[in-house]
Protein backbone atom coordinates (compact mmCIF):
# COMPACT_ATOMS: atom_id res chain seq x y z
CA UNK A 1 0.00 0.00 0.00
CA UNK A 2 2.91 2.34 0.76
CA UNK A 3 4.36 1.57 -2.67
CA UNK A 4 1.05 2.40 -4.40
CA UNK A 5 0.90 5.69 -2.50
CA UNK A 6 4.53 6.49 -3.44
CA UNK A 7 3.86 5.78 -7.16
CA UNK A 8 0.77 8.03 -7.15
CA UNK A 9 2.64 10.81 -5.31
CA UNK A 10 5.69 10.61 -7.57
CA UNK A 11 3.49 10.67 -10.68
CA UNK A 12 1.64 13.76 -9.45
CA UNK A 13 4.80 15.74 -8.74
CA UNK A 14 7.25 14.27 -11.24
CA UNK A 15 5.19 12.59 -14.02
CA UNK A 16 7.01 9.36 -13.25
CA UNK A 17 6.66 6.44 -10.86
CA UNK A 18 10.17 7.20 -9.54
CA UNK A 19 10.94 9.97 -7.09
CA UNK A 20 12.10 13.06 -8.99
CA UNK A 21 10.78 16.17 -7.28
CA UNK A 22 9.94 16.83 -3.65
CA UNK A 23 6.16 17.41 -3.34
CA UNK A 24 5.09 21.03 -2.97
CA UNK A 25 2.02 19.97 -0.98
CA UNK A 26 1.67 17.08 1.44
CA UNK A 27 -0.05 13.91 0.28
CA UNK A 28 -2.56 14.28 3.12
CA UNK A 29 -3.81 17.58 1.62
CA UNK A 30 -3.80 16.14 -1.94
CA UNK A 31 -6.11 13.37 -0.71
CA UNK A 32 -8.69 15.75 0.72
CA UNK A 33 -11.82 16.47 -1.36
CA UNK A 34 -11.58 19.50 -3.64
CA UNK A 35 -14.08 21.49 -1.60
CA UNK A 36 -11.88 20.94 1.47
CA UNK A 37 -8.73 22.20 -0.27
CA UNK A 38 -7.38 18.97 -1.78
CA UNK A 39 -7.34 17.33 -5.20
CA UNK A 40 -9.96 14.71 -4.42
CA UNK A 41 -7.51 11.78 -4.71
CA UNK A 42 -8.53 8.74 -2.69
CA UNK A 43 -6.05 7.90 0.07
CA UNK A 44 -5.22 4.25 -0.62
CA UNK A 45 -4.79 3.04 3.00
CA UNK A 46 -8.02 4.64 4.20
CA UNK A 47 -9.90 3.45 1.10
CA UNK A 48 -8.66 -0.09 1.75
CA UNK A 49 -9.93 0.08 5.34
CA UNK A 50 -13.29 1.34 4.06
CA UNK A 51 -13.42 -1.60 1.61
CA UNK A 52 -12.74 -4.02 4.46
CA UNK A 53 -15.52 -2.29 6.40
CA UNK A 54 -17.88 -4.17 4.08
CA UNK A 55 -16.87 -7.44 5.80
CA UNK A 56 -17.60 -5.90 9.19
CA UNK A 57 -21.00 -4.81 7.90
CA UNK A 58 -21.78 -8.36 6.79
CA UNK A 59 -20.76 -9.72 10.20
CA UNK A 60 -22.62 -7.04 12.16
CA UNK A 61 -25.77 -7.60 10.12
CA UNK A 62 -25.42 -11.41 10.13
CA UNK A 63 -25.75 -11.46 6.36
CA UNK A 64 -26.52 -14.83 4.85
CA UNK A 65 -23.18 -15.13 3.14
CA UNK A 66 -20.86 -18.12 2.81
CA UNK A 67 -17.90 -16.11 4.17
CA UNK A 68 -19.92 -15.01 7.24
CA UNK A 69 -21.00 -18.58 7.95
CA UNK A 70 -17.40 -19.77 7.62
CA UNK A 71 -16.03 -17.04 9.96
CA UNK A 72 -18.73 -17.82 12.54
CA UNK A 73 -17.97 -21.50 12.39
CA UNK A 74 -14.16 -21.21 12.55
CA UNK A 75 -13.49 -18.07 14.63
CA UNK A 76 -16.41 -16.25 16.19
CA UNK A 77 -18.63 -19.16 17.17
CA UNK A 78 -21.64 -16.83 17.52
CA UNK A 79 -19.88 -14.54 20.07
CA UNK A 80 -20.87 -10.82 19.78
CA UNK A 81 -18.71 -9.11 17.14
CA UNK A 82 -18.36 -5.91 19.22
CA UNK A 83 -16.45 -7.76 21.99
CA UNK A 84 -14.56 -10.19 19.80
CA UNK A 85 -10.76 -10.48 20.16
CA UNK A 86 -8.66 -12.30 17.59
CA UNK A 87 -6.85 -15.41 18.92
CA UNK A 88 -3.05 -15.15 18.81
CA UNK A 89 -2.66 -18.15 16.48
CA UNK A 90 -5.12 -16.97 13.81
CA UNK A 91 -4.15 -15.86 10.31
CA UNK A 92 -2.71 -12.45 9.44
CA UNK A 93 -5.70 -11.58 7.29
CA UNK A 94 -8.21 -12.40 10.07
CA UNK A 95 -6.25 -10.23 12.53
CA UNK A 96 -6.49 -7.37 10.04
CA UNK A 97 -10.25 -7.81 9.69
CA UNK A 98 -10.65 -7.90 13.49
CA UNK A 99 -8.65 -4.66 13.66
CA UNK A 100 -11.03 -3.10 11.10
CA UNK A 101 -13.90 -4.41 13.22
CA UNK A 102 -12.61 -2.50 16.25
CA UNK A 103 -12.19 0.58 14.04
CA UNK A 104 -15.75 0.52 12.74
CA UNK A 105 -17.31 -0.49 16.07
CA UNK A 106 -17.62 3.17 17.05
CA UNK A 107 -19.41 4.06 13.81
CA UNK A 108 -21.76 1.10 13.91
CA UNK A 109 -22.61 1.32 17.62
CA UNK A 110 -22.23 4.98 18.65
CA UNK A 111 -23.39 6.47 15.35
CA UNK A 112 -26.34 4.08 14.98
CA UNK A 113 -25.31 2.88 11.53
CA UNK A 114 -26.88 -0.48 12.35
CA UNK A 115 -30.25 1.15 13.10
CA UNK A 116 -30.23 2.90 9.75
CA UNK A 117 -32.14 1.46 6.82
CA UNK A 118 -29.23 2.30 4.51
CA UNK A 119 -26.73 -0.32 3.40
CA UNK A 120 -23.06 0.29 4.13
CA UNK A 121 -21.23 1.95 1.26
CA UNK A 122 -17.47 2.18 0.87
CA UNK A 123 -17.82 5.93 0.31
CA UNK A 124 -19.71 6.32 3.61
CA UNK A 125 -17.02 4.30 5.39
CA UNK A 126 -14.24 6.30 3.76
CA UNK A 127 -15.86 9.62 4.66
CA UNK A 128 -16.35 8.51 8.25
CA UNK A 129 -12.72 7.36 8.56
CA UNK A 130 -11.49 10.68 7.12
CA UNK A 131 -13.60 12.76 9.48
CA UNK A 132 -15.07 16.14 8.62
CA UNK A 133 -12.97 19.16 7.71
CA UNK A 134 -13.89 22.78 7.00
CA UNK A 135 -14.75 23.72 3.40
CA UNK A 136 -12.59 26.18 1.49
CA UNK A 137 -14.20 29.32 0.12
CA UNK A 138 -12.26 29.25 -3.16
CA UNK A 139 -13.45 25.84 -4.37
CA UNK A 140 -16.07 27.15 -6.84
CA UNK A 141 -13.64 29.60 -8.46
CA UNK A 142 -10.62 27.36 -8.88
CA UNK A 143 -12.37 24.11 -9.78
CA UNK A 144 -14.76 25.69 -12.25
CA UNK A 145 -15.47 23.38 -15.24
CA UNK A 146 -14.33 26.09 -17.66
CA UNK A 147 -10.81 26.12 -16.18
CA UNK A 148 -8.06 24.14 -17.80
CA UNK A 149 -6.81 21.51 -15.30
CA UNK A 150 -3.25 22.90 -15.46
CA UNK A 151 -4.56 26.38 -14.55
CA UNK A 152 -6.59 24.99 -11.65
CA UNK A 153 -3.57 23.06 -10.42
CA UNK A 154 -1.26 26.11 -10.35
CA UNK A 155 -3.98 28.17 -8.63
CA UNK A 156 -4.49 25.35 -6.14
CA UNK A 157 -0.77 25.54 -5.26
CA UNK A 158 -1.02 29.32 -5.16
CA UNK A 159 -3.95 29.20 -2.70
CA UNK A 160 -1.90 26.94 -0.43
CA UNK A 161 1.08 29.31 -0.88
CA UNK A 162 3.23 26.42 -2.10
CA UNK A 163 4.46 27.64 -5.49
CA UNK A 164 8.28 27.67 -5.50
CA UNK A 165 8.49 31.45 -5.29
CA UNK A 166 11.84 33.07 -4.56
CA UNK A 167 11.04 33.73 -0.89
CA UNK A 168 10.23 30.03 -0.38
CA UNK A 169 13.36 28.90 -2.24
CA UNK A 170 15.44 31.21 -0.04
CA UNK A 171 13.86 29.74 3.10
CA UNK A 172 14.75 26.28 1.77
CA UNK A 173 18.39 27.37 1.54
CA UNK A 174 18.72 27.98 -2.23
CA UNK A 175 21.24 30.75 -2.98
CA UNK A 176 18.92 32.86 -5.14
CA UNK A 177 18.24 36.54 -5.77
CA UNK A 178 14.98 37.36 -3.90
CA UNK A 179 13.90 40.08 -6.37
CA UNK A 180 10.88 39.43 -8.62
CA UNK A 181 12.10 38.54 -12.11
CA UNK A 182 8.95 39.99 -13.72
CA UNK A 183 9.17 43.57 -12.41
CA UNK A 184 12.62 43.66 -10.71
CA UNK A 185 11.16 46.06 -8.14
CA UNK A 186 10.39 44.02 -5.01
CA UNK A 187 10.99 40.65 -3.40
CA UNK A 188 9.00 37.83 -4.95
CA UNK A 189 6.33 36.36 -2.66
CA UNK A 190 2.96 34.78 -3.38
CA UNK A 191 1.05 37.98 -2.65
CA UNK A 192 3.54 40.08 -4.65
CA UNK A 193 3.36 37.83 -7.69
CA UNK A 194 -0.42 38.07 -8.17
CA UNK A 195 -1.64 41.05 -6.14
CA UNK A 196 1.22 43.57 -5.88
CA UNK A 197 3.53 43.10 -8.87
CA UNK A 198 3.07 46.01 -11.36
CA UNK A 199 3.05 43.49 -14.21
CA UNK A 200 0.18 41.47 -12.64
CA UNK A 201 -1.72 44.63 -11.70
CA UNK A 202 -1.54 45.83 -15.32
CA UNK A 203 -2.69 42.40 -16.61
CA UNK A 204 -5.72 42.38 -14.30
CA UNK A 205 -6.52 46.03 -15.15
CA UNK A 206 -6.68 45.15 -18.86
CA UNK A 207 -8.69 42.00 -18.13
CA UNK A 208 -11.20 43.91 -16.00
CA UNK A 209 -11.64 46.52 -18.75
CA UNK A 210 -12.45 43.75 -21.23
CA UNK A 211 -14.84 42.03 -18.83
CA UNK A 212 -16.44 45.26 -17.54
CA UNK A 213 -15.85 44.40 -13.90
CA UNK A 214 -14.12 46.36 -11.19
CA UNK A 215 -12.64 44.72 -8.11
CA UNK A 216 -9.21 43.99 -6.69
CA UNK A 217 -7.84 40.57 -7.61
CA UNK A 218 -7.40 39.77 -3.90
CA UNK A 219 -11.21 40.20 -3.60
CA UNK A 220 -11.95 37.67 -6.35
CA UNK A 221 -13.33 34.99 -4.00
CA UNK A 222 -15.70 37.34 -2.15
CA UNK A 223 -16.78 38.93 -5.48
CA UNK A 224 -17.51 35.48 -6.90
CA UNK A 225 -19.69 34.46 -3.94
CA UNK A 226 -21.62 37.74 -3.64
CA UNK A 227 -22.12 39.09 -7.20
CA UNK A 228 -25.77 38.81 -8.32
CA UNK A 229 -26.24 41.17 -11.26
CA UNK A 230 -24.72 38.84 -13.90
CA UNK A 231 -25.67 35.37 -15.12
CA UNK A 232 -24.11 32.18 -13.76
CA UNK A 233 -22.31 31.60 -17.05
CA UNK A 234 -20.79 35.11 -17.08
CA UNK A 235 -19.65 34.68 -13.47
CA UNK A 236 -17.99 31.35 -14.28
CA UNK A 237 -16.32 32.79 -17.38
CA UNK A 238 -14.94 35.76 -15.41
CA UNK A 239 -13.69 33.40 -12.68
CA UNK A 240 -12.04 31.18 -15.31
CA UNK A 241 -10.31 34.21 -16.90
CA UNK A 242 -8.75 35.05 -13.53
CA UNK A 243 -7.63 31.47 -12.95
CA UNK A 244 -6.08 31.31 -16.43
CA UNK A 245 -4.38 34.67 -15.93
CA UNK A 246 -2.85 33.61 -12.59
CA UNK A 247 -1.53 30.51 -14.37
CA UNK A 248 -0.06 32.66 -17.15
CA UNK A 249 1.48 35.13 -14.69
CA UNK A 250 3.30 32.17 -13.18
CA UNK A 251 4.38 31.00 -16.67
CA UNK A 252 5.58 34.51 -17.57
CA UNK A 253 7.50 34.67 -14.31
CA UNK A 254 9.25 31.40 -15.22
CA UNK A 255 9.99 32.60 -18.76
CA UNK A 256 11.41 35.85 -17.37
CA UNK A 257 13.58 33.89 -14.96
CA UNK A 258 14.84 31.30 -17.47
CA UNK A 259 14.94 33.20 -20.78
CA UNK A 260 14.81 36.87 -19.72
CA UNK A 261 11.77 37.52 -21.96
CA UNK A 262 8.55 39.20 -20.88
CA UNK A 263 5.24 39.07 -22.77
CA UNK A 264 3.32 42.31 -23.06
CA UNK A 265 0.33 42.35 -20.66
CA UNK A 266 -2.20 43.23 -23.40
CA UNK A 267 -0.99 40.31 -25.58
CA UNK A 268 -1.22 37.95 -22.62
CA UNK A 269 -4.76 39.01 -21.68
CA UNK A 270 -5.99 38.74 -25.29
CA UNK A 271 -4.48 35.26 -25.48
CA UNK A 272 -6.20 34.21 -22.22
CA UNK A 273 -9.60 35.46 -23.40
CA UNK A 274 -9.19 33.95 -26.88
CA UNK A 275 -8.23 30.53 -25.46
CA UNK A 276 -11.06 30.55 -22.97
CA UNK A 277 -13.65 31.52 -25.56
CA UNK A 278 -12.50 28.61 -27.72
CA UNK A 279 -12.74 26.27 -24.73
CA UNK A 280 -16.22 27.49 -23.84
CA UNK A 281 -17.47 26.88 -27.38
CA UNK A 282 -15.96 23.38 -27.29
CA UNK A 283 -17.38 22.49 -23.88
CA UNK A 284 -20.76 24.12 -24.12
CA UNK A 285 -23.03 21.34 -25.38
CA UNK A 286 -26.18 23.28 -24.40
CA UNK A 287 -26.93 26.32 -26.59
CA UNK A 288 -26.20 29.74 -25.10
CA UNK A 289 -29.03 31.94 -23.97
CA UNK A 290 -28.95 35.00 -26.31
CA UNK A 291 -27.92 37.34 -23.50
CA UNK A 292 -24.82 35.23 -22.64
CA UNK A 293 -23.91 34.76 -26.30
CA UNK A 294 -24.06 38.50 -26.96
CA UNK A 295 -22.01 39.15 -23.83
CA UNK A 296 -19.36 36.62 -24.89
CA UNK A 297 -19.10 38.20 -28.35
CA UNK A 298 -18.39 41.58 -26.77
CA UNK A 299 -15.69 40.40 -24.39
ZN1 LIG B 1 7.04 41.80 -9.50
Q: Rounded to the nearest whole angstrom, what is the distance from the C-alpha of residue 35 to the centroid of ligand 1?
A: 30
pLDDT confidence tier of residue 132, bands split at 50, 70 and 90: confident
Q: Rounded to the nearest whole angstrom, what is the distance from the C-alpha of residue 213 to the centroid of ligand 1?
A: 23
Q: Rounded to the nearest whole angstrom, what is the distance from the C-alpha of residue 187 to the centroid of ligand 1?
A: 7
Q: Rounded to the nearest whole angstrom, what is the distance from the C-alpha of residue 202 to the centroid of ligand 1?
A: 11
Same domain, 160 and 282: yes
Model pLDDT for residues 249-284, shown as the tens digit of each residue: 999 999 998 888 889 999 999 999 999 999 988 886
Contacts of residue 60, Cβ cutoff 8 Å, sequence gap at least 6: 81, 108, 114
Q: Rounded to the nearest whole angstrom, what is the distance from the C-alpha of residue 279 to the centroid of ligand 1?
A: 29
Residues around the ion ligand 1 (C-beta < 5 A): 180, 182-183, 197
Residue finishing a domain among 130, 162, 191: 130
Same domain, 177 and 281: yes
Q: Rounded to the nearest whole angstrom, what is the distance from the C-alpha of residue 263 to the centroid of ligand 1?
A: 14
Q: Rounded to the nearest whole angstrom, what is the distance from the C-alpha of residue 253 to the centroid of ligand 1?
A: 9
- pLDDT value of residue 112: 62
pLDDT confidence tier of residue 293, bands split at 50, 70 and 90: confident
Same domain, 153 and 265: yes
Report the candidate in 141, 158, 222 with the shortest Cα–Cα distance to residue 193. 158
pLDDT confidence tier of residue 114, bands split at 50, 70 and 90: low
Same domain, 280 and 173: yes
Q: What is d(CA 261, CA 132) in angstroms, rounded to the nearest whole number?
A: 46
Q: What is d(CA 89, CA 175) in angstroms, rounded to the nearest whole number?
A: 58
pLDDT confidence tier of residue 20, bands split at 50, 70 and 90: confident
Q: Rounded to the nearest whole angstrom, what is the distance from the C-alpha of residue 160 to the centroid of ligand 1?
A: 20
Same domain, 126 and 144: no
Same domain, 208 and 292: yes
Q: Rounded to the nearest whole angstrom, what is the distance from the C-alpha of residue 259 to the centroid of ligand 1?
A: 16
Residue finishing a domain among 109, 130, 151: 130
- Distance separating the N- and C-terminal Cα atoms of the chain: 50
pLDDT confidence tier of residue 15, bands split at 50, 70 and 90: confident
Same domain, 122 and 151: no
- Give the domain extent around 24: 2-36
Same domain, 224 and 80: no
Same domain, 118 and 143: no
Same domain, 195 and 277: yes
- This prediction's pTM: 0.86
Q: What is d(CA 234, CA 25) in angstroms, rounded to the nearest whole number?
A: 32
Same domain, 200 and 265: yes
Q: What is d(CA 128, CA 122) in angstroms, rounded to the nearest whole number?
A: 10
Domain tally for the chain? 3
Contacts of residue 71, Cβ cutoff 8 Å, sequence gap at least 6: 59, 94
Angle (CA) 196 207 39, round 5°: 70
Average pLDDT over every residue of 159-186: 92
Angle (CA) 96 43 240, round 5°: 165
Which range is least confidently modeled, 76-90, 105-119, 141-155? 105-119
Same domain, 209 and 66: no
Residue finishing a domain among 79, 95, 130: 130
Q: Rounded to the nearest whole angstrom, what is the distance from the C-alpha of residue 36 to the centroid of ligand 1?
A: 30
Q: Alpha carbon of 76 to those of 81, 90, 120, 276, 291: distances in Å?
A: 8, 12, 22, 61, 68
Q: What is d(CA 173, CA 51) in angstroms, rounded to the nearest whole number?
A: 43
Q: Rounded to the nearest whole angstrom, what is the distance from the C-alpha of residue 192 to the centroid of ligand 1?
A: 6
Half-sphere exposure of 193 (CA within 13 A, CB side): 28
Q: Rounded to the nearest whole angstrom, what is the distance from the C-alpha of residue 242 to the centroid of ligand 1?
A: 18
Amino acid sequence: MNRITAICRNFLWGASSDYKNPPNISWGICCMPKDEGGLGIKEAKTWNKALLGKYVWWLANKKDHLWVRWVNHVYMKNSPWTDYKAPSDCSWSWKKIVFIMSLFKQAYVNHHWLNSSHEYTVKAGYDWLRGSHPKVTWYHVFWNRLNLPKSSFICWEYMHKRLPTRDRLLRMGCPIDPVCSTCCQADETHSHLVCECPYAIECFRILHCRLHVNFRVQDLISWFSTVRRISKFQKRFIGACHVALIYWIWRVRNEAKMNAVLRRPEVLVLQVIHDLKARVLTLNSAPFVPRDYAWLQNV
